[in-house]
Each structure stands twice: as structure tokens, then as C-alpha cells.
Chain A
Amino acid sequence: MAEPLLRVENLNVTFTAYGRTRQVLRDVSFTVAAGERVALIGETGSGKSVTAKAIIGTLPKNGRITSGSIAIGGRDVLTMARGEREALKGTAFSLIMQDPLSSFNPVFKIGTHLDDVMRFADRRDGKVSSKADRNARIAAVLRRVQLADTERVMNAYPSELSGGMRQRVLIGLALLHQPRLLIADEPGTALDVTTQDEILNLINHLVAEEDMALLMITHNLGVVRKVADRVVVMHHGDIVETGPCTDILHRPSEEYTRSLLDAVPPLYGPRVTDLPQSGEPPIVRIERLNKIYGRRNGYHAVRDVTLALKAGEIFGLAGESGSGKTSVARMIMGLSRPTSGKLAIDAPDPGRGKRLTQIVYQNPGTSLNPKRTVKQTLTLPLKSIGMDAARRDARMRELLELVRLPQSYLAKYPHELSGGQKQRVAIARALAAEPKILILDEPTAALDVSVQKTVIELLMQLREELGLTYLMISHDLSLMRNFCSRIAIMLRGEIVEEGPTPEVFAGPRHPYTRALIAAIPVVTDEEERLKPTVTDEERMRFLVKTTD
């Protein structure tokens, strides 16, 4: 058997912080053969990124490889001299970063970024190259990542390109020197689904065309199905199982992998949950709502939106970034005033200090004050509705019970809690002042899938127990398929399609809805088959341009 391109053997890595040493990787071994596509999958803290950093040689200062070996092309990189190892970057392997915006220095043009990399690599190889020659080579690379107007892209500043285009340039940057192994750290996760889909297609296309090997690091099982031949599942620094992609996704042998797959909300098939439709009268009525930001030639964020939220239902407002879904939610919350149109909430006045609506934010890391304990955070809404200390304590105990957190958590600060626990505290805060309508702004986007599952279950139970109405804003259609009873799709400020969730997914009428659903990475082949089809012409009409 030929020596694989990348061989990681019994890799052990420890991190030292605050005088304590922890093992973050335990005997991690896997290989990537030439031309093979391998996905490293795991949740937060599984060690997948640490593994990638160890391979590239960018472990943080307090991380240490205690034993094991990493061989690229049969040569152990850990025993290599520094300069020699440095020289491998870009030629033996290349890296595609996660965040397409922060990877560029905003004050330099795209062309400068690419030219710098090329110039340094040429100098390292002892080659003298002219600017014109390098420019020609850069243009060729940009064309390979499907950026046809190379002149414009090279003269643009990073902020002038869309997220998808920046991600393409990053991929181009990685390809400058025909590496044999491409390491991709969650490419496209920061982008919209449709853009992410195109980026994954591009990576697949390039890997096949250039005969590169791919090591994809991701937490998304749908992405894995799309881009990997073989999957390595990691959990808490251990490799749980390794196998061909279809085996892992359809016939996992380990309990952990099964639970991970179970937590992924299905898009189609028997596992899909259909929520009952609410027969209640509408509680929120919106008619021809418009929002224009700025005075003259302002940005028309919401155009003639007409909606009705029935009491007790979970209404999903779906759309990609910039579609206006958050603007609609903020107007319902009373946080911003509509430019024109009617907005009525049909419920009795809740009384002193109470609000009909409350919100659960996307990122619990930023929606809880880091300097305030859970108790202080929860006291605020209770105090504002006029509860005295004794009743507040009782109510706080009740709230923690509602969100299934132990009482001892009252004294904790946010940084002592995990992401899911923080989101539970945020939910408790939202519920404290007894709202009727809860707005969920992508409540699980910042969480791992298994945590997402528990938070969603909690939200479902709370709705039943407390008789709440939810408005969920999200771009994650597979989650909304299972969580919302009705759904509306927004595109550039307008609602393009609306209806009961099962109907919308069974027969999406608007081409944009079809394109959106088709772009979702799914786990099983069956779901892929059931997705609606979109013609290229439709795709061109509705999707954000990521090429030129």
C-alpha cells in the first residue's frame, strides 16, 4: 500500500492554562490518501480544530504535542526544521480559512493580498518574477475559482466584495501553488446557505480537477455528505469512529454518531415532525408594513409585508441575510417604528412593566451581561413588574425549573455556563415578565446540533405549558421544517411565499423557495432526492451573485 499523503499517528496534545494541564487530543490517528476527501467532524471542544492546527503547525503557545507523529508525504513534520516546515505551507498543503472577512486586511486591495503571497513564494523558490507575470498568474487563479472579471476583483477592497466572492478569493489564495492537500476549516459557515452550497460545489470541483486531497473540518453533517469520501468522527479529543461517508451517515456503529445524526433536523422523510395548525384568531396583524432606513434614497428593508400570527402557533420567518426578517421582528417588538403600514397586537394590556413581546437572541454569549450573575439578570425583569424580594426568589426558582437548570446556577456568571445553558438563562429572562409572544431570533444558530435539539425541545414544551405564540426568525430551513407550524419566506424585503410548513416544503411555488430548500446540506441521499429542483436560470434570477 502506498504511503498516504497525510498520516497522523497517535497524536496527543495537551493545553496548559491557569496552572492546569488538560489533554485535548488522545491518540488521534487517521490518514488522508492522495486525491481522497476526508471530513473531520465533531462538536465544540471535540478537538477537530486543534487537530488541524497541529497539522498546520499553528497550535497556540500553551498547546503542546506530547507524543505522536504527523507525516506529510511520508516525512515527519514534527521533527523537521522550522524553515523546512514553513516551506511546506502552500505547496504540500494549503488552508482555507473559516471567516472570509477577517482573513483580509481591509486597507489592502485583493490584488495586493494575492500578489504578496505569490511574491514571497517566488522569493522562497529563488525565482525572479515580474509584476505582469504574477498578475497573469493571479488572474488565472481567479478564473479557476469562477471569478471571471479578474481586473475588477483585483482592484477591489475586501469590503467591496460579497461574502461569497471573498470566500472564493480565499480559496484562490489557497490554490496559488497547486497544493496536494487542501485543509478547509468550516468554509462557508459564515455565509448564507445558498452561497455556502456554491462554495462547496466549487471546492468539490477544484479538488476533482486538480486531483487534490481534501481535509474538511466541519460540524455540519450535511456538508460532510456533500464533500467527503471518508469521515472521522471526533468527540472530546477522541476519534469515535472512522469510515466511508455513506456508512457513517446511514449505518453508524457508535452510539455517539447515532445521537449526532439524530439531532440533525430532517428536511424530508419519515422523521419529519408536522406541527398542528392553530385554529385560534390572529394575535398579531400586520398590513402593508414598510420600513425604509435613512431619509432620502433610504434603504427599503421591508416592502409591503402583510402577515397574521395566530395565537398559539409557531410562525417561521425565513430568509437570508438582508432579507428584512429581523426588521419585521424589531417592529413587532416595538423597537423600531414602521415607515408605513399597520401593526396591531390583539391582546389585553399586560399591566405595569410587562410587555406582550419578548425576544431570545441568536447568540447567548452577547445577550447576557458578562458581569452579572444569573440571579441579577433574572431579578431585573421581575423587579420591573413590581415583585418584592420574597416573591422574586420564588419566581426565580420556578423559572429555573421551567428551563431545566439547577437552582445553584443562580450564583453563576455567564462565562461559567455552556452555550446551551446560557441560552436557557436567556429564555428564562424572556419568560420572566410573562410575555404572550416570544420572538426567537435564530435561537440555536450559535449552538451545537445536539444542544440545539435540547433547546428546541425545551421551547416546544414551554409553548405548550405557557400557551405562548412564537415568531421564529431563521435561515435554517431544516430546523424550521420541524419547529414551525407556518412559514413565510422573505426575499429582499418582500414575502415571496407563505403557508403551512408541510405544504410549503411539499410543493414550493416560488423559485427562490425552491433554491433555498435545494441549497440546504442534508444528511441522507433520500432527502437529497426529495429536494425540489431549480433551473440555472431561476438560480441566476434570485440568488446573490457570488461570481461576478
Chain B
Amino acid sequence: MADMKMLDSSDRGLSTGYMMWYRFSRNPAAVAGSLILLSVVILAVFAPWLTPYPKHVGAVVDFRARHLPPDLAHWFGTDKAGRDIFSRTIFGLRVSLLLVIGVLGISVPVGTVLGLIAGYFGGWVERIVSGLTNVMLAMPPLVMALAVSNLLEPTLMNAMIAITLLWWTWHARLIYSVSKSIASEDYIEAARLAGAGPLHILFREILPNCVSVISVKTTLDAAFVILFGATLSFLGFGVKPPTPDLGSMVADGRQFMPDFWWEVLCPGAAVLYVTLGFNLLGDGLRDMFDVES
């Protein structure tokens, strides 16, 4: 610790950005993770142009071509309706990414704000927020999600709602503890003495110090959301057919194992690929942000 401080003080001339870039670029996991995610994003965004059979996303049936093993025409083979699995997998990535953006786009801000407030103000606000998170965390997530999507129609939107309802609690709890420890720092008291209001302190003083924690947690969470979404659709509570979804594709292919193995393994490998990307990037980010902590 003392050594690191000594070093950092000697590198005073270097900007934070340079130090982070230096750490990032020398972290193979982080670089690999971001390359994977970059490829996933490009594939998902340009799916209609990059896939060989964009029409196979819909309710196309071509029984002559059913259960074809992987070859040059169909890289991942075809499924029971003769649709190109490669095309459907790429479109499935779209669904997964949409799910990540939808779930984390709501639950991260909500969880962060609640966590910040609970950690900084303490007292009854803290008791209410932490009580609520404790109740939410006590519910088995899968059962909860199944219940919600059972009540509502099984669509992407509803799956998103189900997952979001669970997800904000993890963020709230994490940011709560960070916020609580930052709230006792001298610079927070100094800001208060300088006339800062609670909004300024929450969002200008405490939040910037949580950014590293939030981004690491969010990245790692993205992987879980994808897995969770895939689990829901595997169980039949996710996206409605014929929209391709990685989880339901695995579920569909399951009945044909082990003869037509590509129908399970290829979409499954896609899930693995995306999750791995998020996890590697998350770990890399954690190493990178160690600069300040």
C-alpha cells in the first residue's frame, strides 16, 4: 500500500486517463473482453446485413433443409424447421443485448440512487431502503421471475420487467455500502461546510467516487442478466416464438440431443461467448480502477 502511494506520488505528472489506459491495454483479459463485446455489438446491430438468411428469423419453414449439420452454407447447421441456426443466433444476440440494456438501464440508476440516499442520509431512510432490499433479496429470484412472467404475457418486455424488479436490489445494496463509507470522509463534511446541498453531495461528491464500482458491477451483471434471460426463455417464459432467443433455441434443440448436437451447442456457445466477454471486461475494469482505490 505504502509502495503504491509512493509510486503514484512520483507519477504525479501522469493523467488519470493515461494511467487507466496503461493498465487497461496491458490487461489481456480486459482487451479480450472488450474485443468480444465489440464483435457482439457489431453482429447484433448489423445482423440483417451480416447474416446469410435474415428471413429465417421469422416463421419460415423449409422441411427439406431440416436438421442439416454445420457446413459452409449453414455454419451452425439448421433446426427442426430447416432454419439457419447461425442467422437465428446472431439475431438472438440482439434480444440478449436488448434485455441487458433494458434491465440494467432501469435497475442500475434506480439501485444507485436508492443506495446513495440510504448510505448518505442514514436514519429511517436507511432502514426503509435496506429493509426493502432485504425482503427482495430473500425471494428466490427464479421463482419470483416466473411468477411475474406467469401473471403477465410471456414477452421480452415482461421478462425485462421481471428481471428488473429483482435486479435493482443488488445495486442498491452495493452502492449503499460504498456511499455509507464515503459519507464519513472529511471531504464530504468539508463540502457541507462550504454550503453544499444534499443533491450536490449525492451526485457531485459521492457519485463520482462510485463510478468505478458501478461500472465493474454493471459489466459483471450484464453477464448474469443474459444467463437469467436465457434461463427464463429456456423454461418458456421469455420471448415468444418465432423471435429467435438463445435460451429458447437451446430449449428447442434439447429434444434432438445428442443426434443433432449443433442445435443446442451453437446457441449455447453464443451465450458463453457473450457472458465471457462481459466477465472478462468486468474483471479487467476492476484491475484498471485499482489505480485510485
Interface residues of A (CB under 8 A from B): 15, 17-20, 22, 24, 44-45, 49-50, 60, 62-63, 333, 335, 353, 355, 358-359, 361, 363, 366-372, 376, 380-381, 383-385, 413, 415-418, 426, 429, 432-433
Residues of A close to B189: CB separation below 8 A: 335
Q: How far is the CA of A353 from the CA of B192 in the complex (A)?
A: 11
- Given pairs A333-B193, A369-B209, A429-B194, 16 additional interface contacts (CB within 8 A): A18-B11, A18-B19, A22-B10, A45-B10, A62-B7, A355-B193, A355-B195, A366-B185, A366-B187, A367-B187, A369-B187, A370-B209, A370-B292, A384-B196, A416-B13, A417-B12
B22 at the interface (CB under 8 A from A): yes
Whether B209 lies near A15 (C-beta < 8 A) is no
Distance in Å: Cβ of A378 to nearest Cβ of chain B: 9
Distance in Å: Cβ of B30 to nearest Cβ of chain A: 16
Query: A19 and B22 in contact (CB under 8 A), knowing A369-B209, A372-B204, A372-B208?
Result: yes
Partner of A361, one of B2, B4, B190, B292: B190
Residues of A close to B10: CB separation below 8 A: 15, 17, 22, 24, 45
CB-based nearest A residue for B208? A371
Partner of A380, one of B2, B7, B22, B200: B200
B8 at the interface (CB under 8 A from A): yes
What per-residue 1/0 map shows which CB atoms of B1-43 lie under 8 Å from chain A? 0111011111111111011001000000000000000000000
Residues of A close to B204: CB separation below 8 A: 372, 376
Partner of A433, one of B7, B12, B188, B195: B195
Among B22, B185, B194, B292, max chain A CB count under 10 A is at B194
Whether A18 lies near B196 (C-beta < 8 A) is no
B205 at the interface (CB under 8 A from A): yes
Whether A17 lies near B187 (C-beta < 8 A) is no
Interface residues of B (CB under 8 A from A): 2-4, 6-16, 18-19, 22, 185-191, 193-196, 200, 204-205, 208-209, 211, 292
Chain B interface mostly helix, strand, loop or mixed? Answer: helix
Distance in Å: Cβ of B203 to nearest Cβ of chain A: 12
Residues of A close to B187: CB separation below 8 A: 366-369
Whether B12 lies near A432 (C-beta < 8 A) is no
Residues of A close to B15: CB separation below 8 A: 416
Q: How far is the CA of A245 from the CA of B242 in the complex (A)?
A: 87
Residues of A close to B7: CB separation below 8 A: 15, 17, 60, 62
Distance in Å: Cβ of A413 to nearest Cβ of chain B: 7
Q: How far is the CA of A333 from the CA of B186 in the complex (A)?
A: 14
Partner of B194, one of A333, A361, A370, A384: A384
Residues of A close to B185: CB separation below 8 A: 366
User: 10 smallest A-B Cβ distances: which pairs?
Assistant: A384-B195, A371-B208, A381-B194, A367-B186, A60-B3, A369-B187, A366-B186, A18-B22, A17-B7, A361-B186
Whether A44 lies near B195 (C-beta < 8 A) is no
Whether B9 lies near A418 (C-beta < 8 A) is yes
Residues of A close to B13: CB separation below 8 A: 416
Whether A359 lies near B190 (C-beta < 8 A) is yes
Whether A49 lies near B2 (C-beta < 8 A) is yes
CB-based nearest A residue for B187? A369
Partner of A44, one of B4, B9, B16, B194: B9
Distance in Å: Cβ of A105 to nearest Cβ of chain B: 16
Q: How far is the CA of A19 from the CA of B191 in the complex (A)?
A: 36
CB-based nearest A residue for B6? A45
Query: A380 and B16 in contact (CB under 8 A), knowing A18-B11, A49-B2?
Result: no
CB-based nearest A residue for B18? A18
Q: How far is the CA of A432 from the CA of B10 in the complex (A)?
A: 30
Q: How far is the CA of A333 from the CA of B19 in the complex (A)?
A: 39
CB-based nearest B residue for A102? B1
Residues of B close to A353: CB separation below 8 A: 195
Residues of B close to A383: CB separation below 8 A: 195
Whether A20 lies near B194 (C-beta < 8 A) is no
Whether B186 lies near A363 (C-beta < 8 A) is yes
Residues of A close to B188: CB separation below 8 A: 369
Among A333, A366, A372, A380, max chain B CB count under 10 A is at A380
Among A24, A44, A369, A418, max chain B CB count under 10 A is at A369
Q: How far is the CA of A373 from the CA of B104 in the complex (A)?
A: 30
Residues of A close to B193: CB separation below 8 A: 333, 355, 358-359
Q: How far is the CA of A50 from the CA of B292 in the complex (A)?
A: 22
CB-based nearest A residue for B8? A415
Whether B11 lies near A433 (C-beta < 8 A) is no
Residues of B close to A63: CB separation below 8 A: 3
Query: A381 and B22 in contact (CB under 8 A), knowing A371-B208, A372-B205, A416-B12?
Result: no
Q: How far is the CA of A49 from the CA of B193 in the complex (A)?
A: 37
CB-based nearest A residue for B22? A18
Residues of A close to B194: CB separation below 8 A: 380-381, 384, 429, 432-433
Distance in Å: Cβ of B5 to nearest Cβ of chain A: 9
Whether B14 lies near A18 (C-beta < 8 A) is yes
Q: How far is the CA of A369 from the CA of B18 in the complex (A)?
A: 20
Residues of B close to A384: CB separation below 8 A: 194-196
Query: A429 and B6 in contact (CB under 8 A), knowing A18-B11, A20-B11, A384-B196?
Result: no
Q: How far is the CA of A366 from the CA of B3 in the complex (A)?
A: 18
Distance in Å: Cβ of A331 to nearest Cβ of chain B: 14
Residues of B close to A376: CB separation below 8 A: 204
Q: How far is the CA of A432 from the CA of B185 in the complex (A)?
A: 21
Residues of A close to B209: CB separation below 8 A: 369-371
Whether B195 lies near A385 (C-beta < 8 A) is yes
Q: How far is the CA of A18 from the CA of B189 in the complex (A)?
A: 34
CB-based nearest A residue for B185? A366
Q: How far is the CA of A302 from the CA of B201 in the complex (A)?
A: 31
Whether B195 lies near A381 (C-beta < 8 A) is yes
